[in-house]
Amino acid sequence: MQGKVTLEDHFATEATLGDSQPFGAHVWPELRYRLLDFHDQRLRLMDAAGVEIMIASLNAPAIQGIANSQRAAEVARAANDILAEQIASRRDRFAAVAALPMQDPELAARELQRCVRDLGMCGALVNGYSQVEGSNVPIHYDVTQYRSFWRTVCDLDVPFYLHPRPPVPGTLPLYEGHSWLLGPTWSFAGDTSLHALRLIGSGLFDEYPRLQIILGHLGEGLPFFIWRIDNRNNWMKAAHKYAARKRVVDYFRSNFHLTTSGHFSTPALVNAITEIGPERVMFSVDYPFEDFSDAAEWFDNAQISEADRLAIGRTNALKLFKLGGDDRSAL
């Protein structure tokens, strides 16, 4: 399929580059180049894979791994400025989502406003929970002090991508002797799905019903578990004790979108389509940690309808990110 849009694909700045080395130390020279490059190999690989538009985002954990909120804000602002500069000359091929200093909800809201209103960005991507100075406890965004931030997201009417990050040191003993489970194998999905469920259970989407959250990797396992989450031990008739007013699946189908980033499995794609609808699934690669050719070859040949392929591969993202409708010319 030509004219695809991809939206979980990363770059790095010199300040955040080292965060990605653990995910590809054995191929670091190539991975390093791919993270820093915009207009050379990145564009060639997009062309070869039939990708017209990349919505680029910062690598992980980057801002969320900086405990000092002022420093996090400085690094985020610099990264967003670099990204805006990179895409300015090729707005036909690139769009951008903002990195945010979520350690401080007010700073995060101000940076999002700047990025959307002044830099022309079309949303935000945040790498999971944040580390905060003076605490060993990771901060999730369901807690009360983040309600004003979520109000800003709604006022700007942009989507928020909840992306994974490596575990904080305090949780690493859970993986002792099994470091192979860290990252995309398991910990990314476990941590991010938990965070998404916390947002749902907190009643956030009752307060802000227009809020739209994106999850990568075909939903971090949630489409497969969504029935059991709502219906566990159903005969006991024990409703969830949470602030939310509705079932988890109701919010999942009205406030969440999923991408195929790094999860190129047709059964998993079909499961996601069945649970959330084809209009809420979008193609993505997870470049440079995954390869364009792998993603495109799988997606272009996946056994789904051509109508769903067009929606998932292109038009859903154009609509969600307000990228000028479908009047862009395909490659």
Residues labelled as active-site residues: 286
Q: Which residue has the tokens 């945010």?
A: 100
Q: Which residues pair with 9 in a beta bridge?
A: 56
Output the 3-class SS for the chain.
Answer: CCCEEEEEEEECCCCCHHHHHHHCHHHHHHHHHHHHCCCCHHHHHHHHCCEEEEEEEECCCHHHHCCCHHHHHHHHHHHHHHHHHHHHCCCCCEEECECCCCCCHHHHHHHHHHHHHCCCCCCEEEECCECCCCCCCCECCCCHHHHHHHHHHHHHCCCEEEECCCCCHHHHHHHCCCHHHCHHHCHHHHHHHHHHHHHHHCCHHHHCCCCCEEECHHHCCHHHHHHHHHHCCHHHCCCCCCCCCCCHHHHHHHHEEEECCCCCCHHHHHHHHHHHCHHHEECCCCCCCCCHHHHHHHHHHCCCCHHHHHHHHHHHHHHHCCCCCCCCCCC
User: Do 99 and 76 meet the contact criterion of CB atoms below 8 Å apart?
Assistant: yes
